[in-house]
Amino acid sequence: MFRSIALKLTLAFVLVSLAGIVMMGWLVRSRTENQIQQLNNRNQVASFVNFAEDWYVDNGSWDNFRLSPRGEQGNSNRRFGRDVVLTDEQYTIIFGEIGPNDPGDKLQQSVRQRAQPIEINNETVGYVVSKRDQSNSPTVQALGAAEQIFLNQFRRAVWLGSGVAILVALLVGAFLAGTLSRPLRKLTTATQALADGNLGEQVDIRSNDEIGNLAQAFNKMSNDLALGEQQRKQMTADIAHDLRTPLSVILGYTEALSEGKFEGDAEVYEAMHTEAQHLNRLIDDLRTLSLADAGKLSLQKTNVQASEILHQAHMAWRVGASNRNIELVTHLPNDFEVVVDPGRMGQILSNLVSNSIRYTPAGGTISISALQDGPSAVFNVADTGNGIPADQLPHIFDRFYRVNAARETAQGQSGLGLTIVKSLVEAHGGTISATSEVGAGTTFTIRLA
């Protein structure tokens, strides 16, 4: 029936306020009327006591006691006479009756406890008992004209205040409901636009409450989706480009051979084999990344000495570094054990060292080291190569990102090496970071917990 959240919230505010106001009004009214009844009863008893004292002083006894009109007070006395009982000093009823007791009877012991004494010259000459005592009579005491006017005005004030409070609750509820529903409508519209394919849709909500936090989360999600879509398209284009280049070479050679344009020789076959290896490396890299993305990258962890891992990396690239006239140095301050997959760890260091060899000029130095930092194992691969510009450093672990795209493509590099390194490090529960200075070199730091 009610589909708008603003209407639901407004009605909820009004109903809650109405329930509270009605309850408060009932409590205040019942309490106030009860207090007025008790005050009226005490006033009437006090008036009767004054009248009785005057009677006793004038007559010297309670003989022939009756309610005598005495101006305005007499009219009041005739009214309160039905609600009080007068006794002498021995609790013998002189005027009125209460329960089964009539004039001439003794006042019951249970009633004497609430009798009010009448004193003349510090001598008790009688007692007055109210038949309208709260603990003894639930009936309503008749009010005087002034009390009734006051009570009527009080009731009108309660109802008027309740009406004003309900109106205020309606206005405040409508305002608050609108404040909540407007940003929700914006989020709904933006979500629908996102579902329709408009990635990167943003909502302008500046509040610091939970809805503001939701809007910030939505904006971040939308940006991430747009960035992911952009990266997906770029990755698809990069994969197509990287596959096309070696395939074009292989197809060109095979077409020329099939058409007899030239005869095959060792040089042709070597070129075709090199391009086929490039394709195979690219496929292996893509498979490794797909396994890492799916969380299915298997690791065979075992206890291994850090020196053994560094030694294997050193031996694997010693000749390659020497052929480029680059010094490969290994540092191990103190040997210690790490729990890793030796094969994957070797792949990590191998990718980093090979990357450093490509960017370190002849005469440079590459150092690999390991040290224990508290509970963590830290591996470093540092070079004295060309370095990476500061604006490109945050992107070096992105897929297919190349600092020098033309050069790396020509060298047959896929641009996935550092991405694979990061995935393998994270699969070990570690982190990898890089620092670099153009013309001074680059340092990669791996920290394993």
| SS3 letters across 276-298 | HHHHHHHHHHHHHHHHHHCCCCC
pTM: 0.51
Q: Which residue has the higher pLDDT, 129 or 294?
A: 129
- pLDDT at residue number 78: 46
User: For the segment 282-324, what is each residue's pLDDT rounded down to a tens digit?
Assistant: 788 778 878 777 777 778 899 999 999 999 999 989 988 999 9
Mean pLDDT value of segment 135-155: 60
- pLDDT at residue number 39: 74
Nearest-angstrom CA–CA distance, 113 and 104 = 19
Nearest-angstrom CA–CA distance, 360 and 328 = 11
| Banded pLDDT at 441 (limits 50, 70, 90) | very high
| DSSP class per residue in 26-73 | HHHHHHHHHHHHHHHHHHHHHHHHHHHHHHHHHHSS-TT------THH
Is 367 a residue whose pLDDT tops 90?
Answer: yes
DSSP state of 430: -
Nearest-angstrom CA–CA distance, 372 and 448 = 10
- pLDDT at residue number 413: 54
Structure token digits, residue 252: 């060109």
Whether the CB-CB separation of 414 and 400 falls below 8 Å is answered with yes
| Banded pLDDT at 1 (limits 50, 70, 90) | very low
Whether the CB-CB separation of 52 and 66 falls below 8 Å is answered with no
In this structure, the number of other CB atoms found within 10 A of the CB of residue 66 comes to 8
Is 73 a residue whose pLDDT tops 50?
Answer: no
User: Of the candidates 225, 211, 279, 223, which has an alpha carbon nearest to the alpha carbon of residue 251?
Assistant: 279
Mean pLDDT value of segment 341-356: 90
Nearest-angstrom CA–CA distance, 430 and 448 = 4
**Domain covering 302-448, topology:** Heat Shock Protein 90 (3.30.565)
User: For the segment 373-424, what is each residue's pLDDT rounded down to a tens digit?
Assistant: 888 999 999 999 989 998 888 888 887 666 654 444 444 455 678 888 898 9
Token pair 């694979």: residue: 420
Percentage, residues of the chain above pLDDT 70 = 85
CATH class of 213-293: mainly alpha
Least confident of 58-67, 231-240, 292-301, 340-349: 231-240
Is 72 a residue whose pLDDT tops 50?
Answer: no
When the pLDDT of each residue in the chain is averaged and rounded to a whole number, the result is 80
Nearest-angstrom CA–CA distance, 318 and 311 = 10
Token pair 């408060």: residue: 24
Sign of dihedral through CA atoms 12, 15, 17, 19?
Answer: negative
Nearest-angstrom CA–CA distance, 344 and 424 = 7
- Percentages helix, strand, coil for the chain, rounded to the nearest 5? 55, 15, 30
**CA end-to-end distance (rounded Å), the chain:** 58
Is 188 a residue whose pLDDT tops 80?
Answer: yes
* Beta strand spans in 282-390 (E): 302-305, 327-331, 337-340, 365-373, 376-383
